[in-house]
Structure 1
Amino acid sequence: MLTIKIKKLNIKPSVIAQQVSQVLLDAILVNDLKGGEQLLEAPLQKQFEISRSPLREAFRDLEKKGVVEIIPRKGAFVKRVTRRDIEENYSVRTLLEGLAAKEAYHKMTGKDHEALQKTISKMKKAVINNNIMAYWKHHSVFHDIFITASGNRVLIKILGTLRIHSVQHRFSFPNYDEKLQNSLDYHKKILDLFISQNTDDIELENLVKEHIEIALKTFITNVREP
């Protein structure tokens, strides 16, 4: 069971629920809370120093995000990740992130380009240090930058949920092995296309799609469901 604790906060229960939801979400995404594990109310109430009401609100929020299942008369459980989950997630992300990149290219500012460059530098440092957790953290930031820059609210909302799931997928399978250097090389190429004033936006869209398709193939090749 999770051992993270937060101090008792003298604020509205709805805000406490959001904070608890985020702490639990972070633990789920990096597989500290594993698929199928029950979120026991009594221990969590004690650890977070909260009542049942905000805890259950946090569970409902996690259920909406698709990472927790609430089973009547049994409780809340971390959702198990299946091969089908991965295939469906990546197939949709391939199309939508490619579109987001295409739309973002025409709307990006110098600050966006600078943010991408700084993120690439952090990704490179993580590869050099073989810091897997840091790499995927900065990898997510890179994608978030151009998805947000697209300005497409529907894409931003849908991809926000899909990308939460993809992080959980990655850490749910210890034998998943996407080569960090290969991933970094793709992102350098994507960055170059974003910065260039002569980029064919279709070429950029296809490169982003290709990057995600390769990640899916890596999953399919290496991941075996328990």
Structure 2
Amino acid sequence: MSELTKKMGRLNFKHTVLVDQVSDTIAQAILEGILKGGDQLVEAKLQEQFGISRSPLREAFRDLEKKGLVVIVPRKGTFVKRVTRKDIEDNFPVRAVLEGLAAREAFSRMTKEELDSLEETFLNMKGAVAKKDGKAFMKHHIKFHEGFIRASGNDVLINILMNLRMHSVWHRFSYQYYKEDFQRSLIIHKKILDLFRNEDSDAQEIENMVRWHIEIALDRFLAYLEEQQSKPR
């Protein structure tokens, strides 16, 4: 291998890392509601903000489009994708089935360390509720679900769910939880944790509990969406 080829390889690696960092930063801003549906991502401003050229920024845009977070309109620009009712109705039922399956597989494979981590994450969720910190609650809520998804050990399932959850998390960050929703969520996650803790639990019961939790979240989110749309503009 020539020195030139080696150098190109190193540059390509650095370029890829840069694209990933820019994509992740913009994605996080969308997930947290800093960038809202319909907002335009202005190339010149972002190039200046990140201190990068047009090429890696446009690659980051294409990555975000694949994840369903932005829409690239030829000759007009790149815009944050608006959440529609269909987006939510398409995503949640599929996620409910697959995440339930992940929980079922995790039950027989989860290590003590993974179980302890799940319990610690639940306690962090509980602490966030006590402080009425919605952002922290969602952070730990995401970690709780990703904890048992990864514990399933099924790489195909993990990869599919990580992509589905990217969309779902985006929807959930748009949802301004009422106080009772936090409490209800804690009760459900405590039940899920207890089922994982109990060696005599039935794997089907764990799968059903996770599926039910996500299906209920869908119903409540759609109700909230309808409420918001019915308000006078």
Q: TM-score, normalised by structure 1?
A: 0.91
- Cα offset for 1:173? 4.4
Question: In the alignment, is the contact (CA less than 8 A) between 1:38 and 1:77 conserved in 2?
Answer: yes
- Cα offset for 1:61? 0.9
Tell me what 2:36 maps to. 34
SS in 1 for 2:119: helix
Question: In the alignment, is the contact (CA less than 8 A) between 2:30 and 2:170 conserved in 1?
Answer: yes
SS in 2 for 1:223: helix
Question: In the alignment, is the contact (CA less than 8 A) between 2:175 and 2:221 conserved in 1?
Answer: no
- Inter-partner Cα distance in structure 2 for 1:153 and 1:32: 32
- Inter-partner Cα distance in structure 2 for 1:164 and 1:12: 25
Question: In the alignment, is the contact (CA less than 8 A) between 1:104 and 1:147 conserved in 2?
Answer: yes
Tell me what 1:111 maps to. 113
- Cα offset for 1:195? 1.1
1:57 matches 2:40: no
Q: TM-score, normalised by structure 2?
A: 0.89
Tell me what 2:24 maps to. 22
Tell me what 2:4 maps to. none
- Inter-partner Cα distance in structure 2 for 1:220 and 1:54: 37
SS in 1 for 2:199: coil
- Cα offset for 1:12? 2.3
- Inter-partner Cα distance in structure 1 for 2:152 and 2:15: 34
Tell me what 1:68 maps to. 70
- Inter-partner Cα distance in structure 2 for 1:36 and 1:77: 6
Q: Which stretches of structure 1, 4 residues or longer, exceed 4 Å deviation after superposition?
A: none
Tell me what 1:205 maps to. 207
SS in 2 for 1:50: coil
1:216 matches 2:226: no
Question: In the alignment, is the contact (CA less than 8 A) between 1:81 and 1:172 conserved in 2?
Answer: no
SS in 2 for 1:111: helix
- Inter-partner Cα distance in structure 2 for 1:69 and 1:171: 19
Question: In the alignment, is the contact (CA less than 8 A) between 2:96 and 2:214 conserved in 1?
Answer: yes
Gaps of 5+ in 2: 1-12
Tell me what 2:146 maps to. 144
Q: Percent identity?
A: 57
In structure 1, give the amino acid aligned to 2:59: E
Q: Whose Rg is larger? A: 2
Question: In the alignment, is the contact (CA less than 8 A) between 1:102 and 1:201 conserved in 2?
Answer: yes
Tell me whether 187-196 or 162-171 shows the greater mean CA deviation: 162-171
1:92 matches 2:94: yes
Gaps of 5+ in 1: 1-10
Pick closer, same or farther for the CA change 1:173–1:205 going to 2, 3 Å: closer
SS in 2 for 1:66: coil
Tell me what 1:7 maps to. none
Tell me what 1:185 maps to. 187
- Inter-partner Cα distance in structure 2 for 1:116 and 1:51: 41
In structure 1, give the amino acid aligned to 2:162: G
Question: In the alignment, is the contact (CA less than 8 A) between 2:175 and 2:224 conserved in 1?
Answer: no
1:101 matches 2:106: no
Tell me what 2:131 maps to. 129
Higher share of residues assigned helix: 2
